Structure 1
Amino acid sequence: MNLMSQEELLALPTTTSIEIAARAIGLGRTRAYELARSGDFPCKVIRVGTSYRVVTADLRRLLGVEAPAA
């Protein structure tokens, strides 16, 4: 499993897929979906139709990665 670099995390859009968020955290895809379905994913997850989106700001906060000041 390839963890994401800080640069990759900072380049993510406002929301990202559950797969990308799982990679950033170090979770497998199946476990990430299990946590999202049960409401236990460690970041805010938004359900859009049949897919899950993770709020990138929450993901960065969880990992201690702050965006540089503008």
Structure 2
Amino acid sequence: MKQALSRRLGFTEIFELPVTVDLRTAARALGICRGTAYRLVYEGTFPCSIMRVGRQYRIPTAELMRLLGIDERPMYAVDLDAVPEPQQNATPA
């Protein structure tokens, strides 16, 4: 029986990922199936560094984001550098 394909991770979901992710999550972010991800690991051609923790593979999220061309810093709806500083109350005491 074929396993149903997981949907690809959305842009906002990627910013909610923990520091490392499992191979299945990394595959979803890259838009490849889990079988292809495991094959790339075994061939030594997975595009990110891989850590083996016990029986699991872990991929650093920051490296995965760089591979996807996503800046690591948080993104805001408003550019915080463009917001003027609040004015101090200039009345003498």
TM range (shorter): 0.7 to 0.9
Q: In the alignment, which residue of structure 1 is the partner of 2:60?
A: 55
Please tell me whether residue 29 in structure 1 is matched to residue 34 in structure 2.
Answer: yes
- Taking the aligned partners of 2:28 and 2:42, their CA distance within structure 1 comes to 17
2:69 aligned to which of 60, 64, 67: 64
Please tell me whether residue 38 in structure 1 is matched to residue 40 in structure 2.
Answer: no
- Taking the aligned partners of 1:13 and 1:68, their CA distance within structure 2 comes to 14
Please tell me whether residue 8 in structure 1 is matched to residue 8 in structure 2.
Answer: no
Q: Contact (CA 8 Å) 1:22, 1:28: kept in 2 or not? A: yes
The code of the aligned residue for 2:74 comes to P
Answer with 36-45 or 12-21: which moved more.
36-45
- Where structure 1 has 5 or more consecutive residues not aligned to the other structure, the ranges are none
TM-score by length of 2: 0.68
TM-score by length of 1: 0.88
* Higher Cα radius of gyration: 2
Q: Give the CA RMSD over aligned residues.
A: 1.4
- Where structure 2 has 5 or more consecutive residues not aligned to the other structure, the ranges are 1-5, 76-93
Identify, as 1 or 2, the structure richer in strand.
1
- Taking the aligned partners of 2:35 and 2:49, their CA distance within structure 1 comes to 18
How many residues of Structure 1 are paired with residues of Structure 2 in the alignment? 69
